[in-house]
Amino acid sequence: MMSDDRPVTLEFIAAQLQRVLSEIRILRDDVDVLAAIVRRLDNNQALMLDELRAMHNQQQRTAACPGPRRKVDMIV
């Protein structure tokens, strides 16, 4: 906080503006990182959904297949 006896100069305003711009750059970098994380998670979710659909279709084909049933070991 500034005291009343010191005037606000253009140098002071410029320094404060530089500080604010620097903080905005840092926040923008943080947002970029978070957005990249969300995009990665979103892509993983879509791929997982495709995998689950494929597994479901595979199980339906196996269940609909006539003939002797064979034991299938689950891969974990």
Task: State residue 16's pLDDT score.
Answer: 96
Question: Which pTM does this prediction carry?
Answer: 0.53
Q: For residue 63, give both structure tokens.
A: 């269940």
Two tokens, residue 35: 């957005």
Average pLDDT on 57-76 reads: 72
Could you state, in order of their start, the residue ranges of all structural domains in the chain? 40-65
Return the pLDDT at 42.
86
Which pLDDT tens digit goes with each residue over 64-73?
877 666 665 6
Q: What pLDDT sits at residue 63?
A: 84
Q: What is the Cα–Cα distance from 3 to 13, expressed in whole angstroms?
A: 15
Residue type present at position 35: A
